[in-house]
Amino acid sequence: MRVFLHDLLWKQDAESFKKRIDQFLAVCEKHKIRPMLVLFDSVWDPVPQLGKQRDPKPGVHNSGWVQSPGAAALSDEKEYPRLEAYVKGVVGAFANDKRVMSWDIWNEPDNFNTNNYAEPKNKIELIEKLLPMTFEWARAAKPSQPLTSGVWKINYNDFKELTKTEKIQLDLSDVITFHSYDDAATFEKAVAFLKKYERPMICTEYLARGNKSTFETILPIGKREPAVWHHEILNADGTPYKQAEVDVIKSLTGKK
């Protein structure tokens, strides 16, 4: 389960926020769910506020969803120490918590929501500056869990080159994550392209039935395993991948 947090809740009451995250993780553990916690998000309303939220806007997709940080904090370097405290505080509090699967540093950082909202004109430049800093802050908290930030708008049918933001995301991620709302053929192109990074890979967003991105078309691709493992000796349950390999190792070490 991928769960979005927000910097304003940390600003309002950091200790209570950590307590609520801990309570949520306890519920997850009860149901055998390990969440990926998302720290920042560049999508939808860029003017977040604390307190009672406004009513949904009819006809506007995800009209109640707010960005973190909002446009004001993103554009003001004086806010960065507060954002740093948030990242280090949350990641540090749960850095060795086995209930947390991983940290999604920033959801779709270069998403420019100009269809429904007024975004800072230099948003992408600000993201290119702040995104590496956010990875650095998270690593400074020494988490045992991997860090990631998912690429989302690469056109694999007409691929030319990565943007600066995408390079930052892929270079700094321990685990490669990506979003794909396209058909099965394009999904497979995405997987083939991202495999070159030779890291674990997770599709963290999909399903757009109008684009032929469905459970029936995408899940079977995601379930496939390599025909031959490149590495590793044991399956997840501890049994050998190949019994013959284990027999060789035992014969060479004199173990039975």
Whether residue 208 sits in one domain with residue 128: yes
Reported pTM: 0.89
Report how far residue 31's alpha carbon sits from residue 42's, in angstroms, rounded to the nearest whole number: 30
Each residue's pLDDT tens digit, 52-94 = 999 988 888 888 999 999 999 999 999 999 999 999 999 999 9
Q: What is the DSSP letter of 214?
A: -
Q: Give the residues across from 43 on adjacent strands.
A: none
> Does one domain contain both 108 and 235?
no
Residue 65's pLDDT is what? 94
Question: Which ranges in the chain belong to alpha helices (H)?
Answer: 7-12, 14-30, 71-74, 80-93, 123-140, 164-172, 184-194, 215-223, 243-253
Q: Which pLDDT score is estimated for 159?
A: 79
What pLDDT score does 120 carry?
94
Number of domains in the chain: 2
- 213 & 241 share domain: no
- Lowest-confidence segment of 95-109, 164-178, 213-227 by average pLDDT: 213-227
User: Is the per-residue pLDDT at 227 higher than 80?
Assistant: no
CA distance 235 to 241: 6
Q: For residue 256, what pLDDT is reported?
A: 67
Q: Is the pLDDT of residue 239 over 80?
A: yes
- With H, G, I as helix, E, B as strand and everything else as coil, classify residue 134: helix
| Same domain, residue pair 87 and 120 | yes
| Residue 22 domain boundaries | 2-227
Residue 226 has pLDDT above 80, yes or no: no
Same domain membership, residue 217 and residue 254: no
Indicate if 104 and 87 belong to the same structural domain.
yes
User: Omega of the bond prior to 69 within 30 degrees of 0, cis?
Assistant: yes
In this structure, are 101 and 87 located in the same domain? yes
Say how far apart CA 133 and CA 194 lie, in whole Å: 24
Instruction: Please give the share of the chain, as a percent, with pLDDT higher than 70.
Output: 99
Q: Are residues 232 and 218 in the same domain?
A: no
Q: Is the pLDDT of residue 116 over 90?
A: no
Q: Which residue has the higher pLDDT, 102 or 153?
A: 102
Q: Is the dihedral of CA 177, 180, 184, 190 positive or negative?
A: negative
User: Mean of the per-residue pLDDT values for the chain?
Assistant: 94
Residues 168 and 238 in one domain: no
Give yes or no: residues 248 and 217 share one domain. no
> Same domain, yes or no, for 208 and 233?
no
Q: Could you read off the pLDDT of 22-56 as tens digits, one per residue?
A: 999 999 999 999 999 999 999 999 999 999 999 98
pLDDT at 98: 97
Model pLDDT, residue 142: 98
For residues 248 and 196, membership in a common domain is answered with no
